[in-house]
Structure 1
């Protein structure tokens, strides 16, 4: 299969991508859409209703439609009014599928827009990414004016390029997984019986969850979670987190009649603790956990009642439902009291302890909190509720616990859907609420209250300012404390005020991180590249020889990650890095990315090792660190600062992440 060439270049009809891309000057906004496939041109007019309801100036659009062209979902606009556009898309895909070579359309590059297509059974997902910066040469329709150097042209092209195809495909795969989370893979059977079926009736009010999973790709909602395929965690004293995890594990096994398959404690969109079975084949995938977190965060009605909801974890079993009890905990009365100022500010005056040279002069979180451990009592106590009620029960507003529901919730997942199991989970939640309060004591408000996120951001900002960085993103993978753990990540706030208030600049920074993640895995981040399926097959592919079920141990993210052969982009971003270092120097920023490696090489076996042997300091095997500096910082100095930042984060990892004791097995 011939490789795809750069965007806007002619290609052979047998290529996976579109045969010929339309130059930027020939593209006319929404009045006509012209595309060339294998040398044949097709043009379609769009209705006036579509033009009125569709914002072509937005940076991103995502559609879902059936094979029959029936609209299912649209990120912007009313999908019903976009039916003409959906039919045009379906016609383009059908034209390509009718070719003798059997190719499928993967992507189209047209001027400042890129169209990415993902076909899953009878559903078609389409992502449209547009440039955030208008090209200066587009006004004249030429190739650049006189005196424009090659370097300036390349910089302008990079700034004006739409989102890379690999990351757009990753978003579509997450969106499809979110549909399976709500409806299971049996949704495909509906279209086999009735190709024109309107799926929007089954989705109901779940549009917010589908939009929420797409928003995970935006800097404003934590793009690092989708890039890393992991969850963010609540920062907490490791001794307290250990007691909480033990309580959660005890509740997981004691919830009669069948117990809980998974027990999760969330605060907002962050993970506090997790308990799951010991068998690796039953471990909760990081991506499935992220789908669950997104669902809870985007359904505000869950706060008003205890819910008993069917959910599907695609990597665990995509053909059937599990049943999740979701109950929000009530904040204790102390959480409404005034909070002390954050302790993680850069002007902290507490004397640091003695550390290695890499962390000299940077006091650890443990040092700064040495005198604040009092007030956390034993976690052995607890009360039981009478368990009366139905499967959706309104909250009592006058309880002695404080009344209103807080931001934290307990999720208990079972294979049973009986009312007895629901009642047992109600009693378990009541007991856990009492024990969690006992475990945290006076620290509840500090770690879970309204100002907890400000204190956490203050700590991460301090890390940035100590290294003279503008932003960093850290991803923790693999085994922690000798036990497999879900992938976790954290991102600092943007320290620079101008950067913090400029969404386009934030997108560029995250674009650096995305390109670095691609470079170290496949050796290239060319925007025009497409996926070659041969690279994902066999024992040396991105799946690490895990077999047809996709539950092999080749993924660096976690054992039994469950990535299937349909999840090409997901498998790519979760695959083993080939290199340990990537950097990029731009006009405004210098970005350094460090990656931990295994000694078995990409896609192979091997054990996880510290990448100090590969020249990346203390970064653990499978971990990633991306750091953005001002352009005034040289690549050499940026690399040294990134190594020091790695040591600081890993020194405090028990506070910032769930280690072996925070994710009980």
Structure 2
């Protein structure tokens, strides 16, 4: 319980119903076992009275609880975020864990043994959860429940989409191209069940998994990994083929998702066809030359920054909610100032519905 540990603006803990520590954003779970025990005692005491503990408020801190099946999530925050915003972040942490294990697997484990130490299965995945909490603090996509696309001429995006559409296999589900951590294009197989809908959260969690592993596993070459898209189907795995199209720059990441665990070589062949097509058509050059825009390009006096998410997009199962925002320029260049700006958006509810002419 050092001063440096206490000075963090937000702590997140994950524990089991039996009080077993699973994850802590800062510090060691073993060293925090007594603190986590107090949290579970609060949960159990309120449950004994037939209620569910939701939040605790003090002058300096907001403590939010979220229980999802056999897992309990706790956020202890000194930020200006509301309890609803903190609970939404805890829900994303839960979904990230589901993306690694599936909900069915988690439930099955704890039905068999309530004292199971889930850290055995999550070993090595702590950096994925760390990355998720970092990006939720400094990026608006989670707050807006929308995806940010790379600014690109529609003709150039159409060329890339057509290339992706031609490289499929019998068990193919999605092909996704991202650049600079922004979505360029996504293609969904027509045979995917009509009422199945890919949500922004599924992409956020998938992108975070790649981002958290980008310095090691995924940049080493072709990778094949099971991944659950929890809002698409929380009980089953897809199998993701992940490869970069431009090593060693690692700017353009291709993700191919299949329902068949034996389809690595088939998807590797799809990637080869995509590489040949983008090379012959020089299709990635326009993406490489794309630049983000600044707030000055908007032509509004004294405007420092904005977030824009259309409010009238039709609710179609293949239409992902999207948003756009200018590059964060001065005074929002540093990581601390980016967090401060997002805090302002959250605390003021700084959103206005604008209607065009």
TM-score by structure 2 length? 0.90
Q: Alignment partner for residue 280 of structure 2, among 438, 455, 462?
A: 438
Query: Are the counterparts in 1 of residues 295 and 303 from structure 2 also a CA contact under 8 Å?
Result: no
Give the whole-Å Cα distance in 2 for the aligned partners of 1:270 and 1:293: 9
Q: Alignment partner for residue 413 of structure 1, among 251, 257, 266?
A: 257
Instruction: Give the C-alpha shift of residue 507 in structure 1.
Output: 4.5
Give the whole-Å Cα distance in 1 for the aligned partners of 2:338 and 2:179: 26
Counterpart of 1:95? 45
Counterpart of 2:32? 82
Q: Alignment partner for residue 108 of structure 2, among 189, 193, 201?
A: 189
Counterpart of 1:472? 306
Give the whole-Å Cα distance in 1 for the aligned partners of 2:3 and 2:204: 31
Q: Give 1:113-132 correspondences, 5 Å limit.
A: 113-131=61-79
Asked if 1:272 corresponds to 2:184, the answer is yes
Task: Classify 1:330/1:477 alpha carbon distance in 2 versus 1 (closer, same or farther; 3 Å).
Answer: farther
Q: Alignment partner for residue 198 of structure 1, among 91, 96, 117?
A: 117
SS of residue matched to 1:330: coil
Q: Alignment partner for residue 132 of structure 2, among 213, 235, 241?
A: 213
Counterpart of 1:282? 196
- 1:275-327 CA deviation, whole Å, 9 max, x = no partner? 01345423322211111111111112111021111111111211111111111
Counterpart of 1:169? 87
Counterpart of 1:297? 211
Counterpart of 2:270? 428
TM-score by structure 1 length? 0.50
Instruction: Give the C-alpha shift of residue 448 in structure 1.
Output: 2.9
- 1:111-170 CA deviation, whole Å, 9 max, x = no partner? 211100000111100001114xxxxxxxxxxxxxxxxxxxxxxxxxxxxxx321111011
Counterpart of 1:12? none
Give the whole-Å Cα distance in 2 for the aligned partners of 1:230 and 1:90: 34
Task: Classify 1:200/1:289 alpha carbon distance in 2 versus 1 (closer, same or farther; 3 Å).
Answer: same
SS of residue matched to 1:406: coil
- 1:533-583 CA deviation, whole Å, 9 max, x = no partner? xxxxxxxxxxxxxxxxxxxxxxxxxxxxxxxxxxxxxxxxxxxxxxxxxxx
Counterpart of 2:355? 617
Query: Are the counterparts in 1 of residues 294 and 329 from structure 2 also a CA contact under 8 Å?
Result: no
Q: Alignment partner for residue 513 of structure 1, among 336, 340, 345?
A: 345
Asked if 1:323 corresponds to 2:81, the answer is no
Give the whole-Å Cα distance in 1 for the aligned partners of 2:223 and 2:328: 37
Query: Are the counterparts in 1 of residues 152 and 287 from structure 2 also a CA contact under 8 Å?
Result: yes
Task: Classify 1:310/1:483 alpha carbon distance in 2 versus 1 (closer, same or farther; 3 Å).
Answer: closer
- Where relative contact order (Cα < 8 A, 6+ residues apart) is larger, the structure is 2
Query: Are the counterparts in 2 of residues 276 and 284 from structure 1 also a CA contact under 8 Å?
Result: no
* Structure 2: segments with no counterpart, 5+ residues: none
Query: Are the counterparts in 2 of residues 309 and 325 from structure 1 also a CA contact under 8 Å?
Result: yes
Query: Are the counterparts in 1 of residues 102 and 228 from structure 2 also a CA contact under 8 Å?
Result: yes
- 1:430-480 CA deviation, whole Å, 9 max, x = no partner? 110121233445x62x5236xx5xx31xx2333356442011111246647
Give the whole-Å Cα distance in 1 for the aligned partners of 2:335 and 2:255: 37
Q: Give 1:10-89 correspondences, 5 Å limit.
A: 51-52=1-2, 55-89=5-39
Counterpart of 1:104? 52
Query: Are the counterparts in 2 of residues 240 and 439 from structure 1 also a CA contact under 8 Å?
Result: no
Give the whole-Å Cα distance in 1 for the aligned partners of 2:330 and 2:255: 38
Instruction: Give the C-alpha shift of residue 501 in structure 1.
Output: 4.7
Query: Are the counterparts in 1 of residues 224 and 242 from structure 2 also a CA contact under 8 Å?
Result: yes
Instruction: Give the C-alpha shift of residue 207 in structure 1.
Output: 1.1
SS of residue matched to 1:174: helix
Query: Are the counterparts in 1 of residues 177 and 186 from structure 2 also a CA contact under 8 Å?
Result: yes
Counterpart of 1:448? 288
Q: Give 1:364-403 correspondences, 5 Å limit.
A: none
Give the whole-Å Cα distance in 1 for the aligned partners of 2:233 and 2:335: 41
Give the whole-Å Cα distance in 1 for the aligned partners of 2:199 and 2:165: 18
- Aligned pair count reads 352
Instruction: Give the C-alpha shift of residue 515 in structure 1.
Output: 4.9
Query: Are the counterparts in 2 of residues 259 and 414 from structure 1 also a CA contact under 8 Å?
Result: yes
Give the whole-Å Cα distance in 1 for the aligned partners of 2:141 and 2:298: 19
Give the whole-Å Cα distance in 2 for the aligned partners of 1:478 and 1:280: 22
Query: Are the counterparts in 2 of residues 230 and 488 from structure 1 also a CA contact under 8 Å?
Result: yes
Give the whole-Å Cα distance in 2 for the aligned partners of 1:121 and 1:196: 14
Q: Alignment partner for residue 174 of structure 2, among 239, 262, 270?
A: 262
